[in-house]
Amino acid sequence: MKADDLLTRFGAAPEALPPASGKRFPDGADFRIEVSSVEGPAVLAAIVRDAAERGVVVNRVSQGSGAMVLSEADMREMSAIGADAGLEISLFIGPREEWGGGVQAHAPDGPSLHGQIRGMQEFRYAVEDVLRAIDCGIRGFLIADSGLLRILVQAQRSGEIPAEVVWKLSAIAAPSNPVALQVWVELGASTVNLPSDLSLGELAAMRAAVDVPLDLYVEAPDGMGGIVRGEQIADLVTLGAPMYTKFGLRNSQPLYPAGLHMEQAAILIAREKVHRAQVAMEWLRRCGSTAVQSAPGAVGLGIPVR
């Protein structure tokens, strides 16, 4: 990094980093790129097109409204696009308190309940939401309820859910310390979202605690704090590998639950996230990083099936 030499010459050497991670994805890569809030097939198609034009490899997209608001045709179309592009599609499980009829989750102190599932009737619908999406080819899911994760992992281990399905812990349930992180991994989380504002030292401590991939917003939406740290991507990957570097977008409108009434906004927001990823890759190269990104179709991705 050119700034390091300049600062050192003027007696202002940069702060030393914690030790680099020695862990990697199964393919030997250090990082993958994820784009969040990809709310339907039109948004996904725009991302795939823009990524190709900008020379950006998008390894995973995630959706936040919930699989339940997508038609079976929507999910099959997304599965086909994802299969062709070799990228994972991770759908949030729809039935949850955020959209439910209870009042506490919508009170000023209630957002911490948004990802929880209220009662066994809603739990039943949540499980069905997963099974319905699997039938449509989806192989990745966002989860924020510990009980649901436990049941789904048990079903997967017994062979009732395909072995290649990836369980991604949602950012709304992100653990803030290594011990809590270990609990989610013990429950069966395949990858885990971390708080977007972790310091480099805190990130290194999280990485030391587990081997599973960590997901970190390089840029977070305003509702997640709005952090913008694409220039730090080289350090984040060095300390957090294997890492999903996740691109949200600050200063944009909320989309959930999305639909045709918001499709054009969702497309433009998603396209800018691809642009932000392109800029972050420029920063990665400028900083002299030798970090390796996974190629499309890499092992461990929840790539959908037709």
Distance CA 119, CA 89 (A): 28
Mean pLDDT of the chain: 95
Those residues with Cβ within 8 angstroms of residue 73's Cβ, 6 or more apart along the chain or in another chain: none
Q: Which among 140, 146, 141, 127 is positioned nearest to 184, based on CA atoms?
A: 146
**Binning pLDDT at 50, 70 and 90, where does residue 5 land?**
confident
Residue 278 structure tokens: 């392109």
pLDDT at residue 13, rounded to an integer: 83
Domain positions in the chain? 21-99+111-286
Q: State yes or no: pLDDT of 110 exceeds 80.
A: no
pLDDT at residue 105, rounded to an integer: 74
pLDDT tens string 282-306: 999 999 999 999 999 999 999 999 9
DSSP annotation of 11: T
Q: State yes or no: pLDDT of 1 exceeds 80.
A: no
Determine the average pLDDT of the residues in 220-240: 96
pLDDT tens string 136-180: 999 999 999 999 999 999 999 999 999 999 999 999 999 999 999
**Binning pLDDT at 50, 70 and 90, where does residue 235 land?**
very high
pLDDT at residue 106, rounded to an integer: 76
Share of the chain above pLDDT 70, in %: 100
Q: What are the DSSP calls for 24-90, one per residue?
A: --TTS-SEEEEE----SHHHHHHHHHHHHHHT----EEEESS-GGGS-HHHHHHHHHHHHHHT-EEE
pLDDT tens string 48-106: 999 999 999 999 999 999 999 999 999 999 999 999 999 999 999 988 878 787 788 77
Place domain 21-99+111-286 in its CATH homologous superfamily.
Aldolase class I (3.20.20.70)
Q: State yes or no: pLDDT of 113 exceeds 80.
A: no
**Binning pLDDT at 50, 70 and 90, where does residue 112 land?**
confident
Strand partners, 243: 31, 214
